[in-house]
Chain A
Amino acid sequence: MSELSDLYQEVILDHNRSPHNFRKLENANRQADGYNPLCGDQVTVYLRLEGGVIKDISFQGMGCAISKASASMMTDALKGKTEDEAEALFNQVHGMLVGESEPPANGRQIGKLSLLSGVSRFPARVKCASLSWHTLRAALKGEAAIATTEGEDRT
């Protein structure tokens, strides 16, 4: 039961109930769709990029509590960050989700996102948490194709 409480922490359930930045960004200049064929989760990430800085970010879509909370927390964490900082954060969060890095090692940079570390003990749920991040990356790169979590290592 403790692993389950790690996964479904209060903060995560809160983000699921009332996700932050959950809307279409009208003045977005980048956007990408993400799709998880395993469970049908869908997400669209909108970005307002100005001079390499994420001025605004939002998302829309449907998915489980983990995918919604992850996307919601991602938008909180990235507002005002540069593209390079976003890329670095992607790598840190991804490493944490797949269990390659421990949250305390980078806890300072990733802040609240370390609450998602419980996901690493649920291999089947890693893709739920990483979907919005893959989609963010596609949006930053300006890729038109739909981002998917296929090819994600599942241990």
Chain B
Amino acid sequence: MQYPTKMKIKRILFGKNDKYGLIFKVIIYVLLIGISFIFLYPLLAMLAKSLMTVEDLINTSVAWIPRNYTFKNYTNAFQWMNFFNALFDSIQVSILPTIATIISSSLIGFGFARFKFPLKKTLMGIMIAMFLIPSVLTYIPTTVLYQDLSILGIKLNLMNSIRAFVVPAIFGNGIRQTIFILIFYQFFRIIPDELFEAAEVDGSNVFRSFIRIGIPLAAPAFLICGLYSFVWYWNETALARLYFGSHYTTLPMSLDSFIATYSSMYAQGNVTLDSVNSIYNLGVQYAMTLISIFPLLLVYLFAQKWFIEGVDRSGIAGS
């Protein structure tokens, strides 16, 4: 059957039934590209500026493409932030609490998901209510409490050590840990009871079946929670500064202190055109910002799928 040309053009442009027309597709792509640009704008702008020399930074006619490319900002940034030390601190400060978080969250989630006990609903309600209390509210009393916290008679000496992150994570009070507990809860809840019952008939006790059945079947939850927890501990600077003082200097923390130094120098008028050779300039700051987020971007690119799946599996949306 031969369509008239007019109909054909119409079908291509406006689509038919389920198929989108060309016009619609073009509009959507233009929107998507535009929005992507806005999303990436700050990062792109920082990338462009971090490659500029000071002369180009000051020159307002240079917007995106530097006249002379320079990597000096990056080498300066590396030196200033003492990159490898800061990276080591960062990894330490994010990985140890993450391990504590996923271990305790999986236990707690398992407890809530698989056993019936009195007050269960109430306790879960309390857990979620506690999560809704904003972190700013608990900010100062937390530091006050941690200075002389002792649990079950054991004095913990949390301040100025990594324990200030790890110990609360063990006891379900890590950064946004309720989300992780809920993710584990969802994962353990959908495992069929028959599996555990069969294991118990064969003489396995509860802890053994947690390790042999629960953990393997909830493997994605471990990955999701591990990734999110890692990222959130990595980005945490305010709490880290309060707890660690100068004992640890993570990448974001050293970026912060650079910005603080730079802006105080700027306010005092110490940053002028003469100080072209000074390392305190916007280019170095941007280079530093990009360096401090680079490890996160790397993690994201390799584990993107799990970040996106995390929200889906947490059961926040429906179910």
A associates with B = no
Q: Which residues of B are in contact with A by a Cβ distance under 8 Å?
A: none
